[in-house]
Structure 1
Amino acid sequence: MKKIAIVVLMSVGMLASTQAKETKKMKRTADQYTFELSDQVTREKVHFTNRYGITLTGDLYLPKNHGNEKLPALAISGPYGAVKEQASGLYANQFAQRGFAVVAFDPSYTGESGGEPRNVASPDINTEDFSAAIDFLGTQAFVDREKVGIMGICGFGGMGLNAAAVDKRVKAVAVASMYDMSRVTARGYFDSMTAVQRSEMLEQLAQQRWKDAENGKPAYGQAGLPEPEQLTGNEPEFVQGYVNYYKTDRGFHPRSINSNGSWTATNALSFMNMPLMTYINEISPRPILIIAGENAHSRYFSEDAYAAANEPKELMIIPGAVHTDLYDKVDVIPFDKLEAFFNENLK
């Protein structure tokens, strides 16, 4: 099983792409977004620092003419390997239209946020990123710090649930197309990784550390998602979904790792023995809303998280939807439900 590490990384969309090839094909620049800003909303770039001293960059979305009344607020991030100009910004734009103050942020080591080396993920640091966003929101004069929640998408659904468990300031949390990155990395899809395969993967990662130490810098992944024109239709649904989002004008962004970059070759180490869902039951009595597509390959993460959580909780399955539908399809994402959930529970 010499390729087990590569197989696992491929399965969760943690693939490199060839920058020169992609930038020729895609027209979007680093300053552009994958969605149109509502004329009812303002957007401002903001910066804040997490507990580890890393400066994060986000976009603050506010309803226009919100007056002097303090607003309920949300911190949003995800999907895993994405940036604020993609799905998290789209969600923030929608929530701001509905009266929320929202910060959509790039996680540490990603996008416009700080941290070296680039393109590293961590269940601890990325959980902290949510709390740092809440620090920022709660110190704004226009925010009611008693009405702050989290919205996590894809892999940042798992981070968001973990943040809600540890940070009692979070009054409610919702996730869409949730991934448990620690589980899928450490155990494979549907927990199919054997003990032998896990051991071999850890051995590969350990050997890569020697190489990185000798070179004085981290190596980055080399495999890549197929080009859209290379898809045959026989690939797994999630591969087609990721390509159709990250590698086309629909969702491509130059700073997105999944669109135009790669994770470090040892990135998986962070998740191998740090299970994110350990304390999900401690979110209670604060409410959880978990949303997943009926046909999403990731649906089982949502169902298992729901089973592990204590009440109050709700699992909403969107008929016919796949994983990436909940990234940007505003006619599929249940924004009215999300609005009602946060309005009811941010109090």
Structure 2
Amino acid sequence: MTKLALTTAAALMASTAAFAQVETRSVTFENEGATLSGTLYWPEAHDGSALPTVVVTGAWTSVEEQMPSVYAREMVQRGFAAFTFDFRGWGKSGDLPNNVRFIESPAAKTSDIRAAFEFVSTLPEVEAARINGLGICASAGYMVDAVSGNELVDRIGLVAPWLQNAELVEAVYGGSESVAVLISVSQDAERVGGQVIPAAGSEGATGVLMPIGGYYYDSDRGAIPAYDNKWNNAGWESWLTYYPADHAGNLSQPLAIVHSEAAAIPQGVRSFLEQFAGDATLQMLEDVTQYDFYDNPEDVTRAAETMADHFNG
């Protein structure tokens, strides 16, 4: 495995000389009986030839208008087409089986990403031999699983990846007893058809998934009208028993990761890379928080430059 570690000082900061205007088209596609809503992005005034394309997915509970849209536009500025979508049970897309919504299901979201790759490979704007995947935060694991063994995908990039294993799950969620309690909550919620609570709240709020304020709670950032701001407690078990940090052995495509020691669980990245036998580029930025990677212009630019260089490789 080849690893290239880049510091903030060494990171590329220059964008393309002239920012392209972005055109978009709303589309729908099908997966497992549900209709998913997505958006294709490409440079305005492009000559119509097929472009290398990046499928972009976001953090848990997110919708496509949040960080996926931010990075899709960054990819277009760098000469790519890009594609975002809402997972089943979220945003504008249809429900999960049994009319369930707002469950963070790794299996369902991985399946949806695979379906997205299949769909974009049929679009005339897309160069089918150069389709790439870019997963942000929680969807990094789903992206790894959707890309592994997938001949449609050329390369994969992960930004601020949340790659957990059993040890990290216990460390993040308060130990084995606390994890067991949350799994019990999940099972109880599933028995009654789901239990939906707010996803984001102010710092210290009760009865919400993320009582920390910040990105998802700030209307100038992620608390946009399109955001569901919902979490279904029935999803805890599938999330807490999902260990993508252990899945590196399944991946063969060239990989680039941008992360920071100041962001979420960098230990998971180290564990993943120790097991990855392929070509890898690692860029660790200094003092960049998880939420900074979602929408802080300077940090998004640096991450996007690394991803564009990787996808052009």
TM-score, structure 1 normalization: 0.75
Match of 1:48 in 2: 29
Partner SS, residue 305 of structure 1: helix
Partner SS, residue 37 of structure 2: strand
Task: Say whether residues 1:341 and 2:310 are aligned partners.
Answer: yes
1:326 to partner: Cα distance: 0.8
1:192 to partner: Cα distance: 5.7
- Cα 1:108–1:271 change in 2 (3 A) is same
Whether the 8 Å contact between 2:247 and 2:272 is mirrored in structure 1 is no
Task: Say whether residues 1:209 and 2:198 are aligned partners.
Answer: no
Partner SS, residue 225 of structure 1: coil
Alpha-carbon displacement from aligned partner over 1:296-343 (angstroms, at most 9, x marks no partner): 133222222222222201221011211111101221132222111101
Equivalent position to 2:293, from 323, 326, 339: 326
State the AA in 1 paired with 2:226: R
Partner SS, residue 132 of structure 2: strand
1:190 to partner: Cα distance: 5.2
- In 1, Cα distance between the equivalents of 2:199 and 2:133? 33
- In 1, Cα distance between the equivalents of 2:108 and 2:188? 24
- In 2, Cα distance between the equivalents of 1:223 and 1:44? 29
- Cα 1:39–1:101 change in 2 (3 A) is closer
TM-score, structure 2 normalization: 0.82
Match of 2:14 in 1: none
- In 2, Cα distance between the equivalents of 1:107 and 1:70? 25
Partner SS, residue 190 of structure 2: helix
1:218 to partner: Cα distance: 2.0
Q: How many residues align?
A: 285
- Cα 1:182–1:300 change in 2 (3 A) is closer
Q: Which runs of 5+ in 2 are unaligned?
A: 1-18
Structure with more helix by fraction: 1
1:181 to partner: Cα distance: 6.0
**CA-atom RMSD, angstroms?**
2.5
- The correspondence of residues 1-347 of structure 1 with structure 2, limited to 5 A, is 40-50=21-31, 52-115=32-95, 116-180=99-163, 183=166, 187-189=169-171, 193-194=175-176, 196-210=177-191, 212=192, 217-221=193-197, 225-226=201-202, 243-248=213-218, 249-257=220-228, 261-284=229-252, 286-333=253-300, 334=302, 335-344=304-313
- Cα 1:146–1:332 change in 2 (3 A) is same
- In 1, Cα distance between the equivalents of 2:250 and 2:190? 35
Q: Which runs of 5+ in 1 are unaligned?
A: 1-37, 232-237
Alpha-carbon displacement from aligned partner over 1:186-234 (angstroms, at most 9, x marks no partner): 933358622x444443333333334x1xxxx42213685216xx79xxx
- Cα 1:169–1:46 change in 2 (3 A) is same
Alpha-carbon displacement from aligned partner over 1:75-113 (angstroms, at most 9, x marks no partner): 111111111111100100111121111111111110111
Partner SS, residue 153 of structure 2: coil
Partner SS, residue 331 of structure 1: helix
State the AA in 1 paired with 2:134: M
